[in-house]
Amino acid sequence: MSLVLLDRERESEESPQPGQNEVTMKEDGAEAPHEKKIGGDGRNFFPRLTVKFSFMQKRKSDTSVRRSPSSEGGTQTAALPFEENLAQLRLWEAGQQLIAREEQLFGSPGEKEAEWETEEAALRKHYKALLLKVQEVVRDTLDCKTKESSLKSAVSAIMEEEKQDQQWRKAMEGQVPPWRPQGWRQTHDRMLEELVTLRINRLDKVQGVENLSSSLKTDICKMGKLVKDDLLRVVQNVKDCYPEEFDICNLYARLYHQAFSERLQDLATSPMEIEDCTYFISWVYDHYPNNVLRHKSLQTSIDLQALGPLLPEDVVQPLEQQYLSHAESQLGTWISKALTDENAAWKKGDLPKKEDGYYTTAMTFPVIKLVDDCVKEAGTILGDIMKAQRIVCQLGPFLQSYRESLKNQMKVKQINVKPIIKGSLSGICQLRDYIVVSMDPQPEDVRVRHLDIVNDMEKQCYKYLINSIQSDIKPHYNQLGTASWLSDGSVMTELLMKIRENVEAHKDMRPSCLQALVAHLHLQMMVEYVRKLMKRKLRLKSREEEDRLVERLCEDSHALNDLFSQEGSKEEWLSSVLPGIAEVLKLQDPEAIKLEVLSLAQKYPDIREEHVCALLYLKVHLSKDNIASIQKSLVENHIPSVPTTSQPFYSMVQVKWIFKVAPLRSQLTATGLPKIP
């Protein structure tokens, strides 16, 4: 604001009556300014002060009645000398006295030069003393040495000084006190920054922290506790002493965040042992954000997003890599030892343990728990579960070694092999469930690789058990598709009894694994049955024998379905395999047979000419021309590339001999299809 000549009439209207200013200043506890007289010659010693600032008049009118910010109920306080106010930490009152003297000195019409200089020096000295007291009060806040009333008074003094700085900025250059602007607000903030830095570098006074296994751990823990305790004091004891514009909680949080970061960056420059490294990054990503900043008493007062990360990426990334490499190595060692111990037990001939009467492996669950715990711990320490996904890759080498161990065990003739396979199937199911459902995070390609290994292990285990069962019932298989089988139902009865015995012998497996085994056995039984039927051991001679074959197929189909359904097989689609063959065999008209074969090919797209030839070989009155015509029709109308939901079946039926009627396809040979693994 520019200087203006004081309107004499307005001055007389707005100026306090004699004694009024004195009363007012006494009411607010500040010393009443003395009237300055103009020299007898009517001139001023300082021509530049012959006018008053209009903002001075406004200042006086705004502060004609002032109350201490620490007074209760607006009670006015008695006037005290400046030194007494300073000693009693009535800092706002002391500041008001200095402001009044400042305005009197620099806004008066004039005074003797010597007196003016003396008063200016005194003011400068008193302002310095006041600032030191304000700093002392603010500095002692975190040590709980400051009363709330004193802090409020100090903050109010700072605010008044900020207002006074703003007022003096309106004056013309050369008419401002030399100490203005004082910038107490900036001084306050710088002092807090220095205070926070000092406190976080002097940790000897931090209580409640025992000496940890290293000095680095102890220092980090003490710093973290100091930050937490001091921020809690700010929120609980300091916050209400500051106006909102100071945003004091976020100011302290930002300063401690910066100071803590600087100390940690200094520590990160030196090499660390893995335990110190782990402790370091756990504070960066876990303890500090979760236990300090997100403390229930701090959450509503601190803007966490504004703080940003505690450490820059280039500082923390090498430590992350050090931790992850160690975690991978440690996990790989643990799970490898688990497999080594399991192999040692197998070689000794030990039987796997049973739980609830079912064989299981004592290795799989601990391995899964180790992997899961390691990944979750790394995710917590690193603050991001996605960073821990590389640890999951350690499961791959373990699965490969486990698969090789099982393959080697299957080659050994020991009494404990079957129980080992049964128990391993239970563990394999647990591994699959973990990979599919629970194991996160993991890249999709890693998940697929792991599942491929697990599925192959499971396939090999079931194949071993199925082969063992088939070896036991092979003598009964050999009778299928023979004349004795066609004429005597006891062959099938004995086969069913043998199948049931073998299923019963495997009921020490987990129910889900037993059900899968029964389903595999059901499929293999039907494949073997059809293969025997197409082996050309049976040569029918009459229509009656054809009818008897159709009847036998229907009876056997019903008996097999009943048996496997009772044992838990859910492969209902297999119940239509033998009736489909029976439908072809019971027909006599070549055209009807042709249509039925095409219908069978639509239901089982993997059926081939060799299967049809072997099947038609059982027909008594079908000529070679008829068979050739049916074959040709199958080739012309069969489109195997059409998508279908049907289960493959005939591709598993090997036909080693084909009654070749005509050269319909160059690739048709007498060896049939290759065996499906």
pLDDT band at 665 (very low <50, low <70, confident <90, very high): very low
CATH topology agreement for domains 316-461 and 479-640 = yes
Q: The tokens 């110190």 sit on which residue? A: 276
pLDDT above 50: residue 106: yes
Residue 322: how many other CB atoms lie within 10 Å: 18
Lowest mean pLDDT among 334-338, 481-485, 550-554: 481-485
What pLDDT, on a 0 to 100 scale, did the predictor assign at position 69?
58
Higher pLDDT: 665 or 114? It is 114
DSSP 3-state helix, strand, coil percentages of the chain (rounded to 5)?
A: 65, 0, 30
Stretch 95-122: mean pLDDT = 73
Backbone angles phi, psi at 388, to 5 degrees: -90, 0
Q: Give the pLDDT score at 174.
A: 59
Query: Does position 53 have pLDDT exceeding 80, yes or no?
Result: no
Residue 147 scores a pLDDT above 90 = no
* Per-residue pLDDT at 139 exceeds 80: yes
Question: What pLDDT sits at residue 191?
Answer: 93
**What are the tens digits of pLDDT across the range 583-609?**
999 998 989 998 999 999 889 988 888
The pLDDT score that the predictor gives to residue 168 is 80
The mean pLDDT of 607-616, rounded to a whole number, is 88
Confidence of residue 401 (pLDDT cuts 50, 70, 90): very high
| From 131-140, 490-499, 648-657, the region with the lowest mean pLDDT | 648-657
Q: What is the pLDDT of residue 667?
A: 37
Report whether pLDDT(183) > 80.
yes
Phi, psi of 193 (to 5 degrees): -60, -45
pLDDT exceeding 70 applies to what percent of the chain?
82
Q: Please give the single-letter amino acid code of residue 110.
A: G
Mean pLDDT across 41-49:
36
Helices vs. strands in the chain: H and E counts, helices first: 26, 2
d(CA 564, CA 496): 10
Nearest to 287, CA basis, from 244, 225, 236, 330: 225
Assign a CATH topology to domain 479-640. Tetracycline Repressor; domain 2 (1.10.357)
**Average pLDDT score over residue span 177-192:** 88
pLDDT attached to residue 169: 77
CB 67 within 8 A of CB 74: yes
Return the amino acid letter for 585. Answer: L
Question: What's the angle, vertex CA 152, arms to CA 191 and CA 59, rounded to 5?
Answer: 95
Which pLDDT tens digit goes with each residue over 450-482?
999 999 999 999 999 999 999 999 888 888 888
Q: Give the span between the Cα atoms of 396 and 457, in whole angstroms.
A: 13
Q: Which pLDDT belongs to residue 62?
A: 43
Domain map of the chain by residue range? 82-182, 192-301, 316-461, 479-640
Statement: residue 77 has pLDDT above 60: no
User: What pLDDT score does 676 carry?
Assistant: 32
Give the per-residue pLDDT at 635: 81
Q: If pLDDT is split at 50, 70 and 90, which confidence band does 630 have?
A: confident
Tell me, rounded to whole angstroms, the distance of Cα 330 from its chain centroid: 21
Across the chain, mean pLDDT equals 82
Nearest to 646 by CA among 562, 576, 569: 576
Instruction: Write down the pLDDT at residue 173.
Output: 62
Tell me how far apart the alpha carbons of residues 510 and 143 are, in angstroms, rounded to a whole number: 66
Helix (H, G, I), strand (E, B) or coil at 376: helix
What single string gives the DSSP state of each residue in 304-370?
A: HHHH--SS-HHHHHHHHHHHHHHHHHHHHHHHHHHHHHHHHHHHTTPPPPEETTEE--TTHHHHHHH
pLDDT at 82 over 90: no
In tens, the pLDDT along 511-552 reads: 999 999 999 999 999 999 999 999 878 888 888 988 999 999
Q: Which fold has domain 316-461?
A: Tetracycline Repressor; domain 2 (1.10.357)
| pLDDT for residue 496 | 94
Low-confidence winner among 41-45, 60-64, 403-407 (lowest mean pLDDT): 41-45
The DSSP result for 537-594, as a single string, is -----SHHHHHHHHHHHHHHHHHHHHHHHHTT---GGGGGHHHHHHHHHH---HHHHH
Contacts of 324 (CB under 8 A, 6+ apart): 378, 382, 387, 388, 390, 391
Q: How far apart are CA 113 and CA 44, in angstroms?
A: 9
Question: Does residue 85 or residue 453 have the better pLDDT?
Answer: 453
> Quick check: 350 pLDDT over 80?
yes
